[in-house]
Structure 1
């Protein structure tokens, strides 16, 4: 039987609720969402429940495998296909098997397929019941897409505080789904405009495959993630290189992986020396590029000429560089 969870017992006192009783609920998104929804609890077959909306959590098994399709192209973070690879989920499975499911999951009737449901909160409890082959106790609410998104974000933030990076990818996923920044801010608990800008900068700049291999890094705040984002924006680090470095760090904690990757940005790179035409030698290091020509033999006259014309040669080369750069940016 459906019940209104905002029924506060006024019918027992005979008092009439005041006309402005909804003001507090209207100011608090989580209360406003619940106020508008009727709730029904029942056991559901897990096969009737589908995924919905962006995820807001990373786990060690969610995003630590990377696949490559077509050689080095399309490097994408993927989830582990086996839920029992997650030790904490194994513990949850054992708890439900022994003591039953203490807290219902939250679902809504599917907006696409009548008779089916979409998960709002409780994906891990749903996964555990699927492994056990039992029905899942579910709280069913009829919510709009926006209400569902806000409910998901607010409930999950109460369960465990999201790390800065988890907030970043959640904010980015909400925006990618076509919602406004104000909706994303509400789903994240009322973030300011400046905070949202910082989150979206990190969420958009750091490839999902790289962030997944790092993990949630719960002890690491905005400065570290922003430094990594800047490296991708400035193109001092690319996705392929980051993934290669991170694959050697899987024995470390998530926060350690982030710190190690950031540290690798300033590690001294070996100098590369190569021979060029007409007796020139090019030395390319992390901080400088140099060209030298020995003033001996057949190259002596060319070295003298280049010494007298080097400013003009560099200026002409720079003009060519700017022309190519402009073409690439169009």
Structure 2
């Protein structure tokens, strides 16, 4: 997430980078396992903010030491990264807080961009997409560091910026991995950009390549849903009728009003519902079109409803012979005909 600035954080950053003042994060980088209250909660939040402010200060200090200059750029000339990592949501309180912080105190931490490889005078963002969007909506220039980056360097910078500070949700990481794979990046490169190992990269791709992107985008980032439930979700989705159930769930009335974690639960519930047994039916007819019998199959059940007395007698006389043929073909035990 894009940081803003606390008074205590400003003191720390001033001592580390001089006049450059990065900001405190919009929100803690991870969901706590439980909800502490009172002084304990306040202390945890303070420590988290100070830790992230120190990380932001370190990044800025390294940037300044390498000779990077911070420029003010028209947001209209900056394209999003060619591979998106975030899943947009309808309502984002943290983004609104970021906009308010920039209105009141200005943008404290610059974004990273590269010159657009095709459009002269334009740029592509490596990271800082939320700050870029906020500046565009407010109507102010965006502060940016401009570097010449290859596609691989841009993706690495994008992944490394998000990894330690923001923690994309599992499904956002999975979709990011799929998009990198579709752009031709190797598994090693994907693992490096996501700061993960090959087995975890395979799990991310397994989920994102099984579930339709339309379903993933409709559900949203679902930050409370981790790897085990998404893996189970993909297995359910793979079952016969899974895609149709999911499609019906996202089109159901009231789905869009749910927040992202609730949307996951709604689709999961739909996937768990048992489908009614599918009955395959056909009608046997004479060459002249007269009906002889109707045949239906459902699971292990095979039913023949005969509509002709003569055909009924015909079948009865040949059942023993059919059983013998079955035994020959399948090397089964000859059934007893009584």
| Interval of TM-score (by shorter of Structure 1 and Structure 2) | 0.5 to 0.7
**Does residue 292 in structure 1 map to residue 303 in structure 2?**
yes
DSSP 3-state at the match of 2:303: strand
The number of residue pairs the alignment matches comes to 260
**Does residue 258 in structure 1 map to residue 269 in structure 2?**
no
**Does residue 215 in structure 1 map to residue 235 in structure 2?**
no
8 Å CA contact 1:38–1:142 kept in 2: the answer is no
- Match 2:294 to one of 270, 274, 280: 280
8 Å CA contact 1:106–1:122 kept in 2: the answer is yes
- Match 2:89 to one of 53, 60, 67: 60
- Per-residue deviation, 1:268: 2.7
- Per-residue deviation, 1:180: 1.2
- Match 2:69 to one of 26, 36, 40: 40
Show CA shifts across 1:175-211 (max 9, x none).
Answer: 211111111111101x111111111111211111011
8 Å CA contact 2:86–2:168 kept in 1: the answer is yes
- Which whole-Å CA distance do the structure 2 matches of 1:276 and 1:311 have between them? 25
TM-score by length of 1: 0.67
Q: 1:281 to 1:252 in 2, by over 3 A?
A: farther
8 Å CA contact 1:202–1:229 kept in 2: the answer is yes
- Per-residue deviation, 1:212: 0.9
- Match 1:148 to one of 148, 154, 157: 154
- Match 2:188 to one of 167, 176, 182: 182
Per the alignment, residue 82 of structure 1 pairs with none
**Does residue 247 in structure 1 map to residue 247 in structure 2?**
no
Q: 1:283 to 1:124 in 2, by over 3 A?
A: same
- Per-residue deviation, 1:311: 8.6
- Which whole-Å CA distance do the structure 2 matches of 1:112 and 1:182 have between them? 27
8 Å CA contact 1:293–1:303 kept in 2: the answer is no
Q: 1:295 to 1:144 in 2, by over 3 A?
A: closer
8 Å CA contact 1:294–1:303 kept in 2: the answer is no
- Which whole-Å CA distance do the structure 2 matches of 1:135 and 1:311 have between them? 85
Q: 1:201 to 1:312 in 2, by over 3 A?
A: farther
Of 275-284 and 140-149, deviating more is: 275-284
DSSP 3-state at the match of 2:276: coil
Show CA shifts across 1:39-59 (max 9, x none).
Answer: 110111112212223111113
RMSD, matched Cα: 3.4
8 Å CA contact 2:172–2:221 kept in 1: the answer is yes
Q: Which has the higher contact order (CA 8 A, sep 6+)?
A: 1
Q: 1:300 to 1:107 in 2, by over 3 A?
A: same
DSSP 3-state at the match of 1:224: helix
8 Å CA contact 2:246–2:270 kept in 1: the answer is no
User: Which blocks of at least 5 consecutive residues in structure 1 are unaligned?
Assistant: 1-7, 10-29, 62-84, 317-330
Q: Which has the larger radius of gyration?
A: 2
